[in-house]
């Protein structure tokens, strides 16, 4: 890999990688059973520089912000590199957000350029939010039919300059990207990530899970997600490895991709990992009794032999069919984005498939801890990465307290929100809002949250404030949404749910009509953002002088209720 | 060519069969995440079944944000 200490910026490191590994394959793009594209680093460079030149001709320059709203595909990475080449700042947004949410973040980010796909643009271009984000001056749309009315946007494929673009250097302390960790409803949390954040994180991660030419990383998590940006783009590229993109994430095509492309690494969220576990378990259960007995014995042998460390060669011999289904060259499944249940991690490890679980926050520059598998510990989220200091603040007698981290990978702050930045980064320490303890071997064990939010198994951060808008004008006296675990703290990071607290008008009943109204509004939210139950509170919510709800105080009052009895399921 | 009503009915029948529910237990307006108790991955599995049944390709982005059978049937109908 490149010695990243030699480089000042993401763009500079990528530029060197494209030269150094020019003949290696860097990208493979497949759509179902068809391979759509296969690029070497040299071909990638050629395509990206055509775009970079056109961007420069259009006046895109140092510090300008370019947003990408795309599914995982080659043009995502090409556009990102072209942006960095021009000295621009990347604003990767989640393609799964609603058009209104996307425009809201486009406005907040100050993006001048938007690069998106035709199906997404069809929805964005007709959304009312478009009129609010007047900062977006140029829109480039990929894969649009030649005759399509692009509503003022331009075809990405035709946006080409002539001649060589000029590389614009950036300093380590300059902003590389603005990554939104959440906050679509009320207070956007745009994490300002510097070039140094990425360079340092890449060195730390690849010291434990290295890439090299010939390695193939299957990119499934959205590239706007901090994990995939690092291990599905910057990491492999600076090591000469290849990234495989799938245009559809149907489970059958994901399964096929492993043997077809001889995948080395993949990152998954717990939901997908559990689905894989379910599928494998069903296959094992269907084995005839004799074969099942032999299989169980082989798993037991593998388990005994890999107790202290993974022994992949041996596991592949013992459990050949299982490993062949994963292509036979899989080194590790990286799992992140949300907490993974220990039994799922253990299931894969017992089969000789190392699952590198970890813990991280966008604010921390992706990963804070990673399981180094020496030995494998399903009950923890691993040890801090090199260069990452972890402290437990105000620990209780059992050692549990708030996790705080300090590292060169921690963001410089939230965009346009000094108040929230000051609350989150205190004396150089990032307050994670998560609760945990560090055991005697240095492993971090998470046990709950201090903050009012949930993380779904799909790795989505949901803040109650962000979804309250859908309940506005509900015919009740007042309402508020909470993470149930925030009110009734639980030593658990899974099965988190949101609850809607209602204070009804005097004499009002929680009747069928109100329930229907709440349900209908709830269904307007994307499925993973929905509230799971209603809690009734017959007293005025505590409020500040400016009439904002005092959430902490309200939560303390609600905590006196018995949660099992108080939550009425929706 | 099927009508939208026919497509919708076939979607409901196929979903009921796939998730082993009594025929007729699903309605066009039902939210399939809630009614079937499924997650986004199981929805993708259902889409694969529907693609095979209708002999179409339904890109993932077409069903982005869709959570009821009626809208799903409309997306399928537009590709028939």
* Confidence (pLDDT) at A184: 55
Check residue B64 and report its DSSP letter: T
Taking 70 as the threshold, does the pLDDT of residue A185 lie above it?
no
For residues A41-59, average pLDDT: 98
SS3 labels along A379-419: CCCCEECCCCEEEEECCCCCCCEEEEEECCCCCCEECCCHH
Give chain B positions within 8 Å (CB) of A247: 59-60
Rounded CA-CA distance A452/A551 in Å is 9
Instruction: Please confirm whether the linkage preceding A101 is cis (ω < 30° from 0).
Output: no
Q: Is the dihedral of CA A459, A463, A464, A465 positive or negative?
A: negative
The tokens for A467 are 């979804």
Give chain A positions within 8 Å (CB) of B67: 523, 526-527
**Are A119 and B61 an interchain contact pair (Cβ–Cβ within 8 Å)?**
yes
* Confidence (pLDDT) at A197: 98
Write out the H or E segment, with its range, that includes residue A44.
Answer: helix A41-57
Nearest alpha-carbon partner for A303 in A256, A337, A353, A365: A353
Question: Which regions of A413-552 does DSSP assign to beta strands (E)?
Answer: 413-414, 425-426, 429-438, 444-449, 454-455, 461-462, 478-483, 498-503, 533-536
Q: Is the dihedral of CA A319, A320, A323, A328 positive or negative?
A: positive
pLDDT digits (tens, 9 = 90+) for A323-338: 999 999 999 999 987 8
pLDDT digits (tens, 9 = 90+) for A377-422: 998 999 999 999 999 999 999 899 999 999 999 999 999 999 999 9
For chain A, the average pLDDT equals 93
Rounded CA-CA distance A214/A181 in Å is 32
At A183, the pLDDT band (50, 70, 90 cuts) reads low
**Are A272 and B41 an interchain contact pair (Cβ–Cβ within 8 Å)?**
yes
Rounded CA-CA distance A137/A147 in Å is 22
Q: Provide the CA A507 distance to its chain's centre, in angstroms.
A: 45
Q: Are A244 and A263 in contact (CB under 8 A)?
A: yes
Q: Would you report the helix, strand and coil content of chain A in percent, each value rounded to 5?
A: 35, 25, 40
- Which residues are A117's β-sheet partners? A142
Closest partner residue to A251 among B33, B45, B59, by Cβ?
Answer: B45
Nearest CA in chain B to A458: B40
Taking 70 as the threshold, does the pLDDT of residue A186 lie above it?
no
- In angstroms and rounded to an integer, the radius of gyration of the C-alpha atoms of chain B is 11
User: Using beta carbons and an 8 Å cutoff, which residues of A are at the interface with B?
Assistant: 32, 71, 95-96, 98, 117, 119-120, 247-252, 271-272, 275, 457-458, 523, 526-528
Rounded CA-CA distance A142/A136 in Å is 17
**Are B61 and A117 an interchain contact pair (Cβ–Cβ within 8 Å)?**
yes
For residues A170-184, average pLDDT: 89
Rounded CA-CA distance A42/A18 in Å is 6
* Confidence (pLDDT) at A543: 86
CA of B39 vs chain A CAs: smallest distance (Å): 8
Q: Are B67 and B32 in contact (CB under 8 A)?
A: yes
Taking 80 as the threshold, does the pLDDT of residue A492 lie above it?
no
* Confidence (pLDDT) at A30: 94
Q: Is the dihedral of CA A108, A109, A110, A115 positive or negative?
A: negative
In degrees and rounded to multiples of 5, residue A523 shows phi and psi of -75, -15
The tokens for A381 are 């989220």
Q: Which residues of A325-352 are buried (b: 16+ CB within 10 A; e: fewer)?
A: bbbebbbbbbbbbbbbbeebbbbbbbbb
Residue B40's domain spans which residues?
Answer: 4-77
Give chain B positions within 8 Å (CB) of A272: 41
Closest partner residue to A120 among B40, B57, B61, by Cβ?
Answer: B61
Give the mutation candidate from A141, A527, A533 for the B interface (greatest B CB count, under 10 A): A527
For residues A34-41, average pLDDT: 95
Nearest alpha-carbon partner for A297 in A311, A278, A318, A313: A318
Angle CA(A413)–CA(A419)–CA(A420) in degrees, nearest 5? 55
Block residue for tokens 């675990």: A485
Give chain B positions within 8 Å (CB) of A248: 59-60
Phi-psi region of A262 (alpha: psi -120 to 50; beta: other; left: phi over 0): left
Nearest alpha-carbon partner for A269 in A361, A347, A338: A338
pLDDT digits (tens, 9 = 90+) for A234-283: 999 999 999 999 988 888 888 899 999 999 999 988 888 888 898 899 99
Q: Are A380 and A390 in contact (CB under 8 A)?
A: no
Give the mutation candidate from A275, A518, A533 for the B interface (greatest B CB count, under 10 A): A275
The tokens for A218 are 């299957």
Nearest CA in chain A to B34: A527
* Confidence (pLDDT) at A524: 85
Helical spans, DSSP H, in chain B: 4-18, 32-36, 40-54, 69-77
Rounded CA-CA distance A25/A383 in Å is 33
- The angle that helices A251-261 and A270-285 make with each other, rounded to 10 degrees, is 80
Number of domains in chain B: 1
Number of C-beta neighbours around residue A441 at 10 A: 9
- Which residues are A438's β-sheet partners? A444
* Confidence (pLDDT) at A463: 84
- The angle that helices B69-77 and B4-18 make with each other, rounded to 10 degrees, is 120
pLDDT digits (tens, 9 = 90+) for B44-61: 888 888 999 999 988 887
Q: Is the dihedral of CA B53, B55, B56, B59 positive or negative?
A: positive
Closest partner residue to A250 among B39, B47, B61, by Cβ?
Answer: B47
Q: Are A479 and A471 in contact (CB under 8 A)?
A: yes
Burial class of residue A569 (count of CB atoms within 10 Å of its CB; 0-12, 13-18, 19+): exposed
CA of B60 vs chain A CAs: smallest distance (Å): 6
For chain B, residues with pLDDT lower than 70 are none
Question: Which CATH architecture does the domain made up of A379-449 adopt?
Answer: Roll (2.30)
Phi-psi region of A332 (alpha: psi -120 to 50; beta: other; left: phi over 0): beta
Give chain B positions within 8 Å (CB) of A457: 39
Check residue B55 and report its DSSP letter: T
Rounded CA-CA distance B41/B55 in Å is 21
Nearest alpha-carbon partner for A192 in A369, A63, A60, A52: A63
The tokens for A26 are 């860097």
* Share of residues in chain A with pLDDT > 90 (%): 78
**Are B60 and A272 an interchain contact pair (Cβ–Cβ within 8 Å)?**
no
pLDDT digits (tens, 9 = 90+) for A523-565: 888 888 899 999 999 999 998 777 778 888 999 999 999 988 9
Rounded CA-CA distance A425/A431 in Å is 6
CATH says A462-569 is which class?
alpha beta
Give chain A positions within 8 Å (CB) of B48: 250-252
Angle CA(A341)–CA(A344)–CA(A350) in degrees, nearest 5? 140
Nearest CA in chain B to A520: B31
pLDDT digits (tens, 9 = 90+) for A420-440: 999 999 999 999 999 999 999
pLDDT digits (tens, 9 = 90+) for A335-367: 987 888 889 999 999 999 999 999 999 999 989
Q: Are A63 and A84 in contact (CB under 8 A)?
A: no
- Which residues are A357's β-sheet partners? A335
The enclosing domain of B29 has a CATH number of 1.10.1200.10
Give chain B positions within 8 Å (CB) of A71: 60-61
Write out the H or E segment, with its range, that includes residue A472.
Answer: none
CATH says A4-195 is which class?
alpha beta
Block residue for tokens 């300002």: A192
- Which residues are A360's β-sheet partners? A367
pTM metric for this prediction: 0.87
**Are B57 and A32 an interchain contact pair (Cβ–Cβ within 8 Å)?**
yes
Cβ partners under 8 Å of residue A209, min gap 6: A231, A265, A331, A332, A334, A356, A370
* Confidence (pLDDT) at A98: 86
């Amino acid at each position: 890999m490149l010695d990243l200490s030699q480089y000042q910026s993401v763009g500079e490191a990528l530029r060197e990688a494209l030269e150094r590994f020019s003949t290696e394959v860097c990208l493979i793009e497949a759509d179902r059973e068809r391979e759509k594209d296969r690029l070497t680093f040299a071909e990638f460079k050629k395509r990206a520089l055509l775009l970079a030149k056109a961007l420069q001709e259009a006046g895109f320059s140092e510090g300008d912000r370019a947003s990408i709203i795309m599914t995982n595909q080659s043009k995502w990475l090409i556009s990102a590199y072209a942006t960095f080449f021009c000295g621009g700042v990347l604003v990767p947004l989640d393609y799964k957000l609603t058009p209104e949410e996307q425009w809201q973040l486009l406005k907040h980010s100050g993006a001048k350029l938007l690069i998106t796909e035709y199906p997404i643009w069809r929805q964005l271009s007709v959304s009312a939010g478009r009129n609010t984000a007047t900062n977006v001056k140029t829109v480039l749309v990929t894969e649009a039919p030649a005759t399509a009315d692009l509503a003022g946007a331009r075809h990405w494929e035709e946006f080409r300059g002539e001649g060589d673009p000029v590389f614009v250097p950036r300093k380590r302390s300059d902003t590389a990207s603005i990554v939104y960790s959440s906050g679509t409803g009320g207070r956007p949390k745009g994490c300002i990530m510097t070039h140094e954040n990425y360079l340092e994180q890449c060195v730390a991660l690849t010291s434990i899970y290295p890439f090299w030419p010939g390695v193939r990383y299957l990119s499934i998590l959205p590239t706007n997600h901090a994990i995939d940006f690092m291990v599905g783009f910057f990491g492999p590229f600076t090591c000469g490895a290849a990234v495989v993109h799938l245009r559809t994430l149907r489970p059958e095509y994901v399964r096929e991709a492993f043997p077809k492309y001889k995948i080395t690494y993949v990152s998954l969220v717990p939901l997908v990992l559990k689905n894989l576990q379910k599928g494998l378990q069903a296959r094992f259960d269907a084995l005839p009794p004799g074969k099942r007995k032999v299989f169980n014995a082989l798993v037991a042998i593998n388990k005994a032999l890999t107790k202290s460390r993974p022994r992949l060669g041996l596991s592949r011999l013992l459990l050949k069919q299982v490993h062949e289904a994963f292509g036979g060259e899989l080194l590790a499944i990286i799992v992140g984005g949300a907490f993974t249940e220990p039994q799922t991690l253990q299931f894969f490890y017992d089969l000789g498939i190392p699952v590198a679980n970890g813990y991280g926050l966008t604010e921390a520059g992706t990963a804070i801890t990673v399981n180094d598998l020496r030995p494998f510990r399903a009950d923890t989220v691993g040890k801090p990465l090199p260069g990452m200091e972890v402290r437990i603040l105000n620990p209780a007698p059992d050692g549990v307290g708030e996790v705080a981290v300090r590292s060169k990978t921690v963001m410089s702050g939230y965009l346009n929100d000094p108040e929230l930045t000051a609350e989150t980064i205190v004396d150089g320490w990032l307050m994670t809002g998560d609760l945990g303890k560090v055991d005697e071997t240095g492993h971090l064990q998470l046990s709950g949250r201090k903050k009012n939010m949930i993380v779904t198994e799909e790795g989505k951060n949901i803040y109650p404030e962000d979804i309250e808008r859908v309940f506005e004008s509900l015919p009740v006296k007042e309402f508020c949404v909470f993470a149930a675990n925030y009110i009734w703290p639980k030593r658990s990071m899974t099965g988190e749910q949101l609850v809607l607290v209602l204070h009804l008008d005097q004499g009002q009943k929680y009747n069928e009509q109100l329930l229907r109204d709440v349900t209908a509004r709830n269904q307007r939210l994307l499925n993973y953002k929905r509230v799971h139950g209603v809690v009734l509170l017959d007293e005025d919510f505590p409020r500040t002088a400016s009439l904002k709800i005092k959430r902490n105080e309200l939560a303390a009052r609600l905590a006196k209720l018995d949660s099992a009895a108080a939550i009425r399921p929706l | 060519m099927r009508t939208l009503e026919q497509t919708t009915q076939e979607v409901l029948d196929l979903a009921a069969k796939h998730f082993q529910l009594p025929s007729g237990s699903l309605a066009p307006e039902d939210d399939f995440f809630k009614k079937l108790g499924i997650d986004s991955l199981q929805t993708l599995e259902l889409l694969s079944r529907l693609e095979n049944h209708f002999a179409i390709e339904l890109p993932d982005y077409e069903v982005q944000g869709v959570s009821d059978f009626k809208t799903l049937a409309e997306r399928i109908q537009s590709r028939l």
